[in-house]
């Protein structure tokens, strides 16, 4: 159990590798393997560790991937944990339970940037822009990914001939 609020600012030589983590007071961590001893804070991993979901008519590119939790077991939190991704505002976020897995998009928008109340019941994640950063609140430890989806432009084409057959004069 975490008895007081705990914020961990991961120091890094670059903003690209920083992910700040905040645990709310009175949060309990529960893992399927009860012998766990260390919780791995969110760590930036290679973008190919997860796969962004595809959507018809959109191109997708990964921006950041992170690994969070305890290797070999599943962990949940009684209160949402905030993961702050610097400089990622306006992007999509998702999670997957396995390395190499396809992200499930987080579609719920948090009702607060500090302690959302809409992460309850079946809703285990939400996201919200926190200035220029993206805040993800989650009740589970797993792989997370930040990505962009951009509408592909449709091209219209044609040969320039509209209904007439070349070389046909219509005379006999």
Say yes or no to pLDDT of 9 above 80.
no
pLDDT interval class at 105 (50, 70, 90)? very high
Write the pLDDT tens digit of every residue in 72-104: 888 999 999 999 999 999 999 999 998 899 999
Number of CB atoms found within 10 A of residue 23's CB: 19
Q: What pLDDT shows up at residue 157? A: 52
DSSP 66-100: EEEE-TTS-EEEEEEEEEEETT-TT-EEEEESSTT
Q: Which residue has the higher pLDDT, 122 or 15?
A: 122
HSE-CB of 104 using CA atoms within 13 angstroms: 12
Q: What pLDDT shows up at residue 37? A: 81
């Amino acid at each position: 159990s975490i008895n007081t609020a705990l914020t961990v600012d991961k120091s890094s030589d670059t903003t690209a590798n920083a992910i700040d983590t905040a645990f709310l007071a009175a949060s309990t961590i529960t893992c399927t393997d009860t012998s766990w001893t260390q919780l791995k804070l969110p760590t930036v991993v290679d973008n190919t560790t997860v796969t962004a979901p595809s959507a018809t008519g959109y191109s997708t590119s990964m921006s950041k991937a992170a690994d969070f939790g305890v290797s070999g077991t599943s962990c949940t939190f009684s209160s949402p944990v905030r993961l702050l991704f610097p400089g990622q505002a306006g992007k999509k976020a998702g999670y997957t339970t396995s390395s190499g897995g396809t992200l499930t998009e987080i579609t719920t928008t948090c009702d607060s940037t500090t302690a959302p109340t809409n992460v309850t019941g079946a809703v285990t994640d939400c996201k919200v822009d926190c200035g220029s950063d993206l805040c993800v609140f989650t009740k589970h430890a797993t792989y997370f990914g930040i990505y962009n989806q951009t509408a592909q432009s449709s091209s219209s084409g044609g040969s320039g001939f509209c209904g007439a057959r070349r070389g046909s004069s219509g005379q006999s």
